[in-house]
Amino acid sequence: MELYSNAIKSSGLAKNFGDVTAVSGLDLTVKKGEIFGLIGPDGAGKTTTMRILAGILKPDSGRAEVLGVDVVNDPEGVKEKVGYMSQRFGLYEDLTVKENIDFYADLYLVPKGEKEERLVRLMEFSRLSPFLDRLAGKLSGGMKQKLGLACSLIHTPDLLLLDEPTNGVDPVSRREFWEILYELLKDGITIFISTPYMDEADRCHRVGIMESGGLLISDTPAGIREQIKLNIVEVRCEEAKAAREILKRVEVKVKEGIKDVIFFGDKIHISVEDGGGDEKSIKKTLTNNGIVNVSARQIVPSLEDVFFELSNR
Kindly state the average pLDDT of the residues 226-242.
Answer: 87
252-268 tens-digit pLDDT: 888 888 888 888 778 89
Angle between helix axes 112-126 and 171-185 (nearest 10 degrees) is 130
Question: What is the percentage of the chain residues whose pLDDT exceeds 70?
Answer: 98
- Per residue in 109-135, pLDDT (tens digit) is 888 888 888 888 888 878 888 999 999
> What top-level class would CATH report for the domain 230-312?
alpha beta
Cβ proximity of 105 and 154 under 8 Å: yes
Which residues on neighbouring strands pair with residue 61, listed in sequence order? 14
Q: Which residue has the higher pLDDT, 88 or 12?
A: 12
**For the chain, domain boundaries:** 6-225, 230-312
Note the CATH architecture for domain 6-225. Answer: 3-Layer(aba) Sandwich (3.40)
Quickly state the pLDDT bin for 3 (edges 50, 70, 90).
low
* Mean pLDDT over the full length of the chain: 89
pLDDT band at 1 (very low <50, low <70, confident <90, very high): very low
Report pLDDT for 225: 87
State phi, psi for 50 to the nearest 5 degrees. -60, -45
pLDDT at 125: 78
Predicted local confidence at residue 221, as pLDDT: 92
pTM of the model: 0.85
Residue 209 has pLDDT above 60, yes or no: yes
